[in-house]
Structure 1
């Protein structure tokens, strides 16, 4: 759905419902656990040590 709607507007959720009639269960899980997903974000870039 995010390929068509880059937001969480009512239009986005109508599209999600068309794609998955049982989306409410997944949405409830996201409401409960979505913020936990931020801990799995991108790792900070590590610069290689300079060679001397």
Structure 2
């Protein structure tokens, strides 16, 4: 729309195609594995009251 308003050639506008890329969606299992890995490698904070 902006190109048409700026006076771009209509033939050029018709040749434009959208670029589509899928979003990366992690499965629940993959997310759980990652959290487990982080929890097992990260020591608890010495100031944490819940540890």
TM-score normalized by the length of structure 1: 0.29
Structure of greater relative contact order (alpha carbons < 8 Å, 6+ residues apart): 1
Greater helix share, structure number: 1
TM-score normalized by the length of structure 2: 0.29
Structure number, greater radius of gyration: 2
